Structure 1
Amino acid sequence: MNYLVIPAYEPDYNLIKLIEKIHHRSNFYIIVIDDGSSAECQDIFARAEDFATVLHHQGNQGKGQALKTAFEYIQSLNKPGTVVTADADGRHRIWDIFRSLTKSNENPNTLVLGVRAFTGKVPLRSRFGNSLTRILFKLQTGVAVSDTQTGLRAFSTDLIPFMLKIEGQRYEYEMNMLLEASQAYPILEVPIETVYINDNQASHFRPIRDGLMIYKNILKFALSSFSSFIVDYVVYALSILCLSFIPTGLRVLLSNGLARVTSSVFNFSTNKKLIFKNKASSFKTGSGYFGLAVGLFILDTVLIRLFNSGLGVNLLIAKILVGIMLFILSWTVQTLYIFKERTCSPL
Structure 2
Amino acid sequence: MDYIVIPAYEPDLNLIHLLKKIRQETDFQIILVNDGSSPASRPIFEEAQFFATLLEHRENQGKGQALKTAFDYLHLIGQYGVIVTADADGQHQLTDILRVAESARKHPQELVLGVRAFSGKVPLRSRFGNQLTRLVFKQQTGLALSDTQTGLRAFTSNLLPFLLEIEGQRYEYEMNMLLRAAKVYPIREVPIETIYINDNQASHFRPLRDGLLIYKDIFRFALASLSSFVVDYLVYALVLFLMGTAPSSLKILLANSTARLVSSSFNYWTNKKMVFKNEDSLIKTGTGYLGLALGLFILDTLLIRIFYSLFGLDLLVTKVLVSLLLFSLSWLVQKKIIFKSSKQEVKA
Q: TM-score if structure 2 supplies the norm length? A: 0.91
Q: Which deviates more, 40-49 or 197-206?
A: 40-49
Q: Which deviates more, 299-308 or 55-64?
A: 299-308
Q: Which runs of no fewer than 5 residues in structure 2 stay unpaired?
A: none
Q: Which residue does the alignment assign to 2:331?
A: 331
Q: Which residue does the alignment assign to 2:257?
A: 257
Q: Which residue does the alignment assign to 1:157?
A: 157
Q: How far off its partner does 1:51 sit?
A: 2.7
Q: Which residue does the alignment assign to 2:17?
A: 17
Deviations 1:217-242 (A, max 9, x none): 22112101110011112222333444
SS at match of 1:32: strand
Q: How far off its partner does 1:313 sit?
A: 4.0
Equivalent residues, number: 347
Q: How far off its partner does 1:197 sit?
A: 1.6
SS at match of 1:84: strand
Q: Which residue does the alignment assign to 1:92?
A: 92
Query: Which amino acid is 1:230 matched to?
Result: V
Q: How far off its partner does 1:111 sit?
A: 1.5
Q: Which deviates more, 54-63 or 67-76?
A: 54-63
Q: Assess if the C-alpha contact under 8 Å between 1:140 and 1:332 holds in 2.
A: no
Q: How far off its partner does 1:301 sit?
A: 2.5
Q: Which residue does the alignment assign to 1:195?
A: 195
Q: Assess if the C-alpha contact under 8 Å between 2:232 and 2:262 holds in 1.
A: yes
Matches within 5 A, 1:59-70: 59-70=59-70
Q: Which residue does the alignment assign to 1:223?
A: 223
Query: Which amino acid is 2:212 matched to?
Result: L
SS at match of 2:84: strand
Q: CA RMSD in A?
A: 2.2
Q: Which residue does the alignment assign to 2:75?
A: 75
Q: Which residue does the alignment assign to 2:343?
A: 343
Q: Does 1:302 align with 2:337?
A: no
Q: How far off its partner does 1:205 sit?
A: 0.9
Q: Assess if the C-alpha contact under 8 Å between 2:14 and 2:90 holds in 1.
A: yes
Query: Which amino acid is 1:136 matched to?
Result: V
Q: How far off its partner does 1:10 sit?
A: 0.8
Q: Which residue does the alignment assign to 2:282?
A: 282
Deviations 1:155-194 (A, max 9, x none): 1111101111112222222122122222222222222224
Q: Does 1:26 align with 2:53?
A: no
Q: TM-score if structure 1 supplies the norm length? A: 0.91
Q: Assess if the C-alpha contact under 8 Å between 2:189 and 2:346 holds in 1.
A: no
In the aligned structure 2, how far is the partner of 1:279 from the partner of 1:346?
Answer: 23
CA spacing shift, 1:195–1:250, aligned 2, 3 Å = farther
Deviations 1:114-153 (A, max 9, x none): 2223334333322332232222222223333332222111
Q: Assess if the C-alpha contact under 8 Å between 1:123 and 1:199 holds in 2.
A: yes
Q: Assess if the C-alpha contact under 8 Å between 1:34 and 1:54 holds in 2.
A: yes
Q: Which residue does the alignment assign to 1:321?
A: 321
Q: Assess if the C-alpha contact under 8 Å between 1:139 and 1:332 holds in 2.
A: no
Q: Which runs of no fewer than 5 residues in structure 1 stay unpaired?
A: none
Query: Which amino acid is 2:273 matched to?
Result: K
Q: Percent identity?
A: 61
Q: Assess if the C-alpha contact under 8 Å between 1:84 and 1:101 holds in 2.
A: yes
Deviations 1:189-221 (A, max 9, x none): 222224322122111111122222222222112
In the aligned structure 1, how far is the partner of 2:301 from the partner of 2:17?
Answer: 65
Q: Assess if the C-alpha contact under 8 Å between 2:141 and 2:343 holds in 1.
A: no
In the aligned structure 1, how far is the partner of 2:326 from the partner of 2:96?
Answer: 43
In the aligned structure 2, how far is the partner of 1:251 from the partner of 1:186?
Answer: 52
CA spacing shift, 1:119–1:314, aligned 2, 3 Å = farther
In the aligned structure 2, how far is the partner of 1:22 from the partner of 1:93?
Answer: 10
Query: Which amino acid is 1:15 matched to?
Result: L
Query: Which amino acid is 2:270 matched to?
Result: T
Q: Which deviates more, 290-299 or 334-343?
A: 334-343
Q: Assess if the C-alpha contact under 8 Å between 1:113 and 1:187 holds in 2.
A: yes
Q: Assess if the C-alpha contact under 8 Å between 1:183 and 1:340 holds in 2.
A: no
CA spacing shift, 1:161–1:207, aligned 2, 3 Å = same
CA spacing shift, 1:249–1:180, aligned 2, 3 Å = same
In the aligned structure 1, how far is the partner of 2:128 from the partner of 2:134?
Answer: 10
